[in-house]
Structure 1
C-alpha cells in the first residue's frame, strides 16, 4: 500500500482529477517508496524524458517561499540560486510544517504538482528551463506520493502550472555555472 504524503490538502486522487479536468494526458510509473532521487532513478531507467528533483525553501529574510524544480542530475548551489532569482538574504530549506501548510505534502514528496494546493499563491515557482527547452518528450515528478512518478508533456506541465495561478520563473542552470 502506497503511503500518502499529503496532509489535509489535496492528494494524489485530487491531483489526478485536476489533470483529467484539464485534459492532460499522463504516464505514471508505480514504484516502491523512495526518499531520494538516487533511490528513485533505477525504477525510472526505461522512461523517455526528464526527471525532476525539488527543493522547498524560504529566503533568509522570511519574505518569501520558493519551490525549485530542476533536473534530477543538477547540482544546486543555494547562494548562486538566490543571487540569480533575487531572494533577499539568500535561500535555505524551509521547515516541514511550512511545506505541509502551504503545499500539503511532507518531505520526500515535494513536487511541483502540489502547487495546486497553494491557492493563495504564497510560493514562488522556480523551474529549470531545460524542462521546457531541452526537447524532452515528458517531464516527470511525484504525484503527491513518493511511490509513483507521473510524467506529461512540457506544454501540458506549463498549462497545469498556469491553471494553479502561479507564474513560472525560468532558471537557466547552464548560465549559472
Structure 2
C-alpha cells in the first residue's frame, strides 16, 4: 500500500518561501511520485544531476522521547547500532511511527527530507547529516525532496547549512561510512 506522502504541496510552498526569504537559491526537478530512493534514482540519473543524492530516516530512541532526522547518501547503508553509539543514545534508535513523523516534521513516509526541520518549530528534532555531504568542495549540490516525493531540490552544501541554522537545527555531522545493516 502506498504511503500518503504530502499531496497538497502546501509544505513545499512554505519551504520555497522560507528559502527565498533567506536568500537561498535552489533548483527543483519534478519527477513522478516515488516512495523509495530506489524508485527515485532512475529519474534522477536521466537528469544528470551533479552532487550527492540523499536518503533520509526519521528515528526515535527506545523511550520515544528524542527524535532525529538522519540524512545519508542514497547508496549508503546506515547501521543504527553504530550510529546510536556515535550519537550517545543508550538503548539504540529505531524508526518512528508515521504519525509521529507527521506530527514532528509535517511530512509522511516517502517525503522524509532534512528540509522538513522547517516544520519543527519546537526544536524537538535533531538533524544528523553524513559528514561527506559537507566536506568543503566535495559536492556541487545536495539533493533532497522539497516536502513532496514528486520532486527533488538541489541546494549547495553551504546553503543547506545556512538553511539548517536558520531553522534552529545546527547539523550534527557524523561519518556513517562504516560497515552497516540498514
TM range (shorter): over 0.9
What TM-score comes out, normalization by structure 1 length?
Answer: 0.92
The answer for the alignment partner of 1:102 in structure 2 is 104
8 Å CA contact 2:9–2:147 kept in 1: the answer is no
The answer for the alignment partner of 1:129 in structure 2 is 131
Does residue 148 in structure 1 map to residue 151 in structure 2?
Answer: yes
Q: Distance in 1 between matches of 2:89 and 2:42?
A: 34
Q: 1:127 to 1:53 in 2, by over 3 A?
A: same
Equivalent in 162, 170, 174 of residue 171 of structure 1: 174
Q: 1:163 to 1:9 in 2, by over 3 A?
A: farther
Shift of 1:84: 1.2
Q: Distance in 2 between matches of 1:150 and 1:103?
A: 18
Does residue 20 in structure 1 map to residue 20 in structure 2?
Answer: yes
Does residue 49 in structure 1 map to residue 42 in structure 2?
Answer: no
Q: Distance in 2 between matches of 1:8 and 1:44?
A: 23
**What CA deviation, in whole Å up to 9, does each residue of 1:114-141 have, x standing for no partner?**
1010010100111001111161000000
The answer for the alignment partner of 1:68 in structure 2 is 70
Where structure 2 has 5 or more consecutive residues not aligned to the other structure, the ranges are none
The answer for the alignment partner of 1:37 in structure 2 is 37
RMSD over equivalenced CA pairs, Å? 1.8
SS in 2 for 1:120: coil
Q: Distance in 2 between matches of 1:161 and 1:114?
A: 10
8 Å CA contact 1:105–1:144 kept in 2: the answer is yes
8 Å CA contact 1:59–1:89 kept in 2: the answer is yes
Shift of 1:22: 0.8
SS in 2 for 1:131: helix
Q: How many residues align?
A: 173
Q: Distance in 2 between matches of 1:10 and 1:147?
A: 13
Does residue 84 in structure 1 map to residue 86 in structure 2?
Answer: yes
Q: Distance in 1 between matches of 2:6 and 2:39?
A: 21
What TM-score comes out, normalization by structure 2 length?
Answer: 0.90
